[in-house]
Chain A
Amino acid sequence: MRSRPGNMERIVICLMVLFSGTVAHKSSFQGQDRLLIRLRQLIGIVDQLKNYVNDLDPEFLPAPEDVKRHCERSAFSCFQKVQLKSANTGDNKKIISVLTKQLKRKLPPTNAGKRQKHDLTCPSCDSYEKKPPKEFLQRLKSLIQKVYNLNYI
């Protein structure tokens, strides 16, 4: 009679471990799927912004290129920090602001992504070359395409 409660506890612990294992496995897939979906949306947003490139303020913006391995998330955040302003023409101002807002949404985390080197070892945003809006958007698209093709992000 004394050993029975002990056995029951062990069974309950084992079941909890198994359950959490399956849930964790599932959530890692979900995390990566969510990231891929977001990346697909981002490429669409960048393509749309490219149509309005003439309405953007021609200020030079930091545009990372040739990003080091495992620094892709940090480079992407540099793109996000930029203030993409529209020039004076008011027609497309609203669309541009909506698109830039969607660009600034945080990327979904993934298990592999959490292991990425943080901003300490990656170059700071100021160290990247500055480019006009057209090249900025092109480099942003290249970075998204590169990340979409990676297996460790």
Chain B
Amino acid sequence: MERPARLCGLWALLLCAGGGGVAAPAEPQPPVTNLSVSVENLCTVTWTWNPPEGASPNCSLKYFSHFGNKQDKKIAPETYRSKEVPLNERICLQVGSQCSTNESEKPSILVEKCISPPEGDPESAVTELQCIWYNLSYMKCAWLPGRNTNPDTNYTLYYWHSSLGKILQCEDIYREGQHIGCSFALTKVKDSSFEQHSVQVMVKDNAGKIRPSFNIVPLTSHVKPDPPHIKNLSFQNGDLYVQWKNPQNFYSRCLSYEVEVNNSQAETHDIFYVEEAKCQNSEFEGNLEGTICFMVPGVLPDTLNTVRIRVKTNKLCYEDDKLWSNWSQAMSIGQKANPTFYITMLLIIPIIVAAAIIVLLLYLKRLKIIIFPPIPDPGKIFKEMFGDQNDDTLHWKKYDIYEKQTKEETDSVVLIESLKRASQ
């Protein structure tokens, strides 16, 4: 029973020794030589080195490299390493050689090479350099001037991406309050075999006094779409159906939506967040091509409802989903509470009534006396009351408007006696 155990032990030893022999030499290799660094385009930094002298002949050289703080470790047979990095700070690469792609193997002594930002006072560099890609058509970058800089400084923005052959200068500079910005055309080149991944941007001044500032903008984020267009609003079965068209250059599946419904009467303000929206053909008459639909529940059809929509990129197609587009043009449905109509009615009716009254007053005296009775004079009344009491009652009759004043008739009276005498 001991022999099999001893044999196993011997086998194990042999295997280990054999394995050790096949494995890479345990001693580390000599360090790499001629480590140098260069910058291409605006922010593409390339470190190159030569293989070490005096390496073991059995060794198929691989190179282990990492940046400061042991970030981005890489083991590869190439004698160069390239990285897109904004040169706003110093960056260093450490390189060592080893014989396999095994991470646990100890590499040679690491050689380091650093690259510093361009010349200039760090305080003078522009700050808050941010870029936004509008509707996949043009990019706008904006920044704040650095401290201790002349307010009259003329800035220039340079940009580069992999579809361009050379670094271009941005022409369209503008000022917006404290911020300065520049806008340049940028579209996705669909037919090339290489897609642009990011845009490298540099801002410096024409006089060369400030330190240049860099930014690398990935093209899968910082995208702000244009606002959508609402095409149709309709009520069906008590629900409000909204139909709109998304901005061009975007697939509907790559956008998230927000629908805002304002009801002026009930003074409600509802916002609906929509992830997916599609149009079902059967529910819409005259379905427009390329439109998106959404059903808003709980809307009162007899009141005025105003609808607005905005969109943003979602995380299914893009890296971030933080930039909302502007709100679309509002569209309304429901009874129009037309304020001008009410105002005109309120003004016209009193005017007509007033005119009618004036006309009537002028032409109907009776109406006038009813509306404007003669103001009694108390002095006169009392005087006549307590004054001549001998006056006969005829005096009072003149206050009685209903008394008809009879006319005195006078006829000549001829005496008959005198007539008789005349005849004898």
**Could you tell me which A residues sit within 8 Å of B by CB distance?**
36, 39-40, 43, 59-60, 66, 68-69, 129-130, 132, 142, 145, 148-149, 151
Contact = CB atoms under 8 A, between A and B. Distances in A.
B316 A43 contact: yes
B76 A39 contact: no
B316 A68 contact: no
A19 B74 CA distance: 56
Contacts of A60: 75, 101, 103
B253 A36 contact: yes
B197 A148 contact: no
A37 to B, nearest CB: 10
A66 B197 contact: yes
A110 to B, nearest CB: 14
Contacts of A59: 103
A39 B74 CA distance: 29
Contacts of A132: 73
B102 to A, nearest CB: 9
A129 B253 CA distance: 31
Contact of B254 (A68, A130, A149): A149
A149 B317 contact: yes
B76 A142 contact: no
Interface residues of B, number: 19
Which applies to chain B's interface (DSSP): helix, strand, loop or mixed?
loop
A60 B115 CA distance: 28
Given A66-B194, A145-B318, 11 more contacts: A60-B75, A60-B101, A66-B197, A69-B193, A69-B195, A129-B76, A142-B220, A145-B220, A148-B253, A149-B251, A151-B251
A36 B316 CA distance: 10
B317 A129 contact: no
B315 interface: yes
B319 interface: yes
27 contacts: A36-B253, A43-B315, A43-B316, A59-B103, A60-B75, A60-B101, A66-B197, A68-B193, A69-B193, A69-B195, A129-B76, A130-B75, A130-B101, A132-B73, A142-B319, A145-B220, A145-B316, A145-B317, A145-B318, A148-B253, A148-B254, A148-B316, A149-B251, A149-B254, A149-B317, A149-B318, A151-B251
Contacts of B318: 145, 149
Contacts of B317: 145, 148-149
Contacts of B76: 129
A44 to B, nearest CB: 10
Contacts of B194: 66
Contacts of B103: 59-60
Interface string B315-331: 11111000000000000
